Amino acid sequence: MNNVQEYWGDTLQLMVEIVATAAFALSGVLEAARKRLDAVGVCVVGFLAAFGGGTVRDLLLDERPFFWVRHVNMLWGVLILCVLAMLFLRNHHFELTQKAILWPDALGLGLFSATGVHMALVGQMPGVVAVLMGLITGVFGGVLRDIVCNEIPSAFSDHRPYAVCAFVGGWAYVGLWQIDAPGWLAMLACVSLTVGLRALALWRNWQLPAWRL
């Protein structure tokens, strides 16, 4: 198996983490603004959405320090993003609907899923554990965002495939890893499949079976 530098360079991994963090932070800001929270509340929800999933992943994989401690500039970046997003929303009277949150959330889901799978595989975890680490990384930020905003997490309640998309995308990453495919290809396959499936689920309104009384 190729080492970390050969398989997926540190720079590429960091770039994916940054884009995923920004996407989830934006989804948190939009949800908090939709709930009419104050500036502190908006920033807190943005931080929870951005860093929640990765922190749970690092706890489970016993990674120290956490990824946002290793890259402290991410903290400043998310804070700046929250402030700029609030100013933009106030000045442009952007209509805050549930649909506006779905697209940055879908992008963050795909990107964070890829980083979670990668870190678990580098730690020599079994394939199924790596896929679950990807799923946790991609899903838990949104779960924390919704709980703090007093909502049943959309990952569990909107009935359109969400975690399932990350699960499928994670297996694509694992499969390509097992055949020593280039790291960028494994990442692209995982992100594209996860985001693509989520987008199709939203567009076609696919529904998972729900409990019926």
Q: What's residue 98's pLDDT?
A: 65
Residue 96 has a pLDDT of 61
* Dist CA 184 CA 192 (whole Å): 12
The dihedral built from the CA positions of residue 88, 43, 103 and 170, taken in this order, carries a sign that is: positive
Q: What is the pLDDT of residue 128?
A: 95
- Amino acid 188 reads L
Q: Parse the chain into domains and list their residue ranges.
A: 8-204
Mean pLDDT per block of 10 residues along the chain (213 residues) reads 48 82 90 89 94 93 89 92 87 66 88 92 92 94 92 85 93 93 87 94 85 67
- 92: Cβ contacts below 8 Å, ≥ 6 apart: none
Number of neighbouring beta carbons within 10 Å of residue 169: 29
Q: How far is CA 76 from the centre of its chain?
A: 19
- pTM over cut 0.75: yes
Residue located via tokens 């401690």:
69
